């Protein structure tokens, strides 16, 4: 059994909180975003930080991790350690699909005066639910188009379909990300969970969500790509 297969061997027994009460989570997200925007505006007058928006699902939201241990917090620390100055905004909603992301992308973008970079990391839940790749393709394409029309530099983080869905599904799904990135001239990061997927020591007990060590690996791998795009 491959490491990637291990990651998804319990794909249909994912903890129910991930897939339930999504509307409530989105409401909570909106409230938190409004509050964070207030502090962001206050701080903006005193800093020249680059603003990075991590737009995704539980992988970017920090599902199962404590305060300060999530992807956006660790990525911000990593980027700053490497010599760049950035603030990474957590725009992840646990359980969100590409359809959910498309429904909220505009008002999330409208919540900020300026965004220097968006990390688009959606679609994992589409694959976990077996949603047809055509639907995911349309949603990711529309989100990318919105970002392109707003001239916001974007990194599209690739996701990979569970092997149990078959080779045909996997190819159609996995191709969504490089094809979309090429179409809109966006930077492409091949696999969000690179170096972490399937490795028990880097994942939580569900073998899907990275633990603190896993998040650190993801951040260290992605940070140089992000800095390169910011410096263009």
The model's pLDDT over 170-217, given as tens digits with 9 standing for 90+, comes to 999 999 999 999 999 999 999 999 999 999 999 999 999 999 999 999
pTM of the model: 0.82
Q: Which candidate, 211, 229, 103, 64, places its Cα nearest to that of 157?
A: 229
Quickly state the pLDDT bin for 33 (edges 50, 70, 90): low
Question: Which two three-digit tokens encode residue 152?
Answer: 């916001």
For 133-158, what is each residue's pLDDT tens digit? 999 999 999 999 999 999 999 999 99
Q: Token digits for 218? A: 């993801």
Q: What's the rounded Cα separation, in Å, for the pair 101 and 75?
A: 21
pLDDT digits (tens, 9 = 90+) for 71-119: 999 999 999 999 999 999 999 999 999 999 999 999 999 999 999 999 9
DSSP the chain: --HHHHHHTTGGG--GGGTS-HHHHHHHHHHHHHHHHHHHHHHHTT--PEEEEEEESHHHHTTT--TT-SHHHHHHHHHHHTT--EEEEEEE-TT--HHHHHHHHHHHHHT-S--SEEEEE--HHHHHHT--HHHHHHHHHHHHHHHHHTT--EEEEP----GGG-HHHHHHHHTHHHHHHHHHT-EEES-TTTTTTT-GGGB-TTSSSB-HHHHHHHHHHHHHHHHHHHT-
Between CA 144 and CA 137 the distance in angstroms is 10
Q: How high is the mean pLDDT of the chain? A: 87
- 232 — pLDDT class (breaks 50, 70, 90): confident
**Residue 23 predicted with pLDDT over 80:** no
- Name which CATH class applies to 3-230: alpha beta
pLDDT at 27: 52
206 forms bridges with which residues in the sheet? none
In this predicted structure, the answer to whether residue 126 has a pLDDT above a threshold of 80 is: yes
Tell me the Ramachandran region of residue 123: left when phi exceeds 0, alpha when psi lies from -120 to 50, beta otherwise. Answer: left
């Amino acid at each position: 059994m491959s490491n990637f297969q291990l990651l998804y061997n319990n794909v249909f027994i994912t903890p129910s909180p991930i897939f339930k009460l999504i509307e409530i989570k989105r409401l909570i997200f909106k409230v938190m975003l409004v509050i964070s925007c207030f502090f962001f505006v206050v701080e903006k007058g005193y800093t020249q930080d680059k603003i990075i928006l991590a737009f995704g699902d539980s992988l970017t939201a920090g599902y199962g991790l404590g305060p300060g241990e999530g992807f956006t917090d660790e990525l911000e620390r990593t980027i700053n350690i490497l010599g760049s100055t950035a603030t990474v905004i957590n725009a992840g909603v646990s359980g969100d699909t590409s359809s959910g992301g498309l429904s909220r992308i505009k008002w999330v973008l409208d919540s900020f005066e300026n965004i220097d970079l968006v990390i688009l990391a959606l679609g994992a839940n589409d694959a976990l639910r077996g949603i047809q790749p055509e639907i995911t393709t349309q949603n990711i394409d529309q989100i990318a188009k919105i970002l392109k029309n707003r001239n916001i530099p974007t990194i599209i983080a690739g996701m990979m379909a569970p092997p149990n869905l078959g080779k045909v599904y996997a190819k159609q799904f996995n191709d969504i990300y490089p094809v979309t990135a090429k179409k809109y001239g966006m930077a492409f990061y091949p696999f969000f969970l690179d170096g972490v997927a399937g490795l028990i020591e880097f994942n939580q007990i569900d073998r899907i969500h990275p633990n603190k060590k896993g998040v650190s690996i993801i951040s260290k791998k992605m940070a140089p790509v992000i800095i390169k795009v910011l410096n263009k």
